[in-house]
Amino acid sequence: MRQTARKSIGQALADLTAEFPDEDIKESKLRFLESEGLVEPERTPSGYRKYSVEDMERLRYIIRAQREHYLPLKVIKEHLDAIDRGLQPPAPGGSPTVPAGTLGDAGISADLLRGDRGDVRISRRELVKTAEITEELLTQLEGFGLVRTRPGTKHYDSDAVVVAKAAGELAAFGIEPRHLRAFKTAADREVGLVEQVVAPIRRSREDGAEGRAAQAMDDIALLSLRLHATLVRAGLRSLR
């Protein structure tokens, strides 16, 4: 997220020179990095560059990558693209990875409902690799509406990774994507119920209505997940 506080190219250069005194950093280098698409500072109506906090972080990353790993700009640009997509930049010679914890056990807690879980953007090839599934299984999951790309893009988010990973592990027990349609149907019904309850709050003209609606949505969803898990656990207990 871009911040409101921005630095001129002179201020940016002064900060970087102070932080990296052994590096020969000049305005021409900052302009070159911009021309190569590695950083895109805003321009004022008069054409002056303004570097955001995010821009400065990218410049620091570029300088460190060149100084410590001697990486060419093409590779650094790939690293920055991975960071922009919410991934962990690769180690030298490696590939970008999904942040640790994305595939961890999704406990029935408020953390499961955090909106930032969907910030990751990965390609189809990266999804197959991360979730350790086949292209065929992913195609089936998409066919049954269990996994989809982010609206208007060709990328998948971290929710898609978790679903695909779980589906792959369930497949080891003979549970196929067609069997998982019941989960999708149940989830859609729960979403519909939450929407019905929250809609009147959203339509309210009182101050803070949107915030109360969002909180109610999280609370109801969390209670719904706990109820579902408990009912499944109670049902399985009767089979033992």
One domain, residues 118 and 171: yes
38 inside domain = yes
Report residue 225 CA to chain centroid gap: 22
Structure confidence at residue 2 (pLDDT):
43
Structure confidence at residue 10 (pLDDT):
94
Structure confidence at residue 225 (pLDDT):
83
One domain, residues 211 and 167: no
- How does pLDDT run across 43-77, given as a tens digit for each residue? 999 999 999 999 999 999 999 999 988 889 999 99
206 inside domain = yes
Q: Are 146 and 163 in contact (CB under 8 A)?
A: yes
Say whether pTM exceeds 0.75: no
Number of domains in the chain: 3
One domain, residues 161 and 200: no
What residues make up the domain containing 79? 9-84
One domain, residues 174 and 127: yes
102 inside domain = no
One domain, residues 162 and 229: no
225 inside domain = yes
Among residues 84, 101, 123, the one where a domain terminates is 84
One domain, residues 20 and 77: yes
Among residues 178, 200, 228, the one where a domain terminates is 178
Among residues 139, 163, 178, the one where a domain terminates is 178
4 inside domain = no
One domain, residues 115 and 165: yes
One domain, residues 156 and 203: no
Dist. CA 186–CA 190, nearest whole Å: 6
Dist. CA 15–CA 142, nearest whole Å: 48
Structure confidence at residue 119 (pLDDT):
75
Q: What is the CATH number of the domain that holds 58?
A: 1.10.1660.10
Q: Is 100 left (phi over 0), alpha (psi -120 to 50) or beta?
A: beta
195 inside domain = yes
Structure confidence at residue 94 (pLDDT):
74
One domain, residues 120 and 133: yes
Cα 218–Cα 190–Cα 228 angle in degrees, nearest 5: 85
Contact residues for 87 (Cβ-Cβ < 8 A; gap 6+) = 96, 97, 98, 99, 120, 121, 122
Q: What is the CATH number of the domain that holds 168?
A: 1.10.1660
Q: Which residues of the chain have pLDDT under 50?
A: 1-3, 106, 108, 110, 115-116
97 inside domain = no
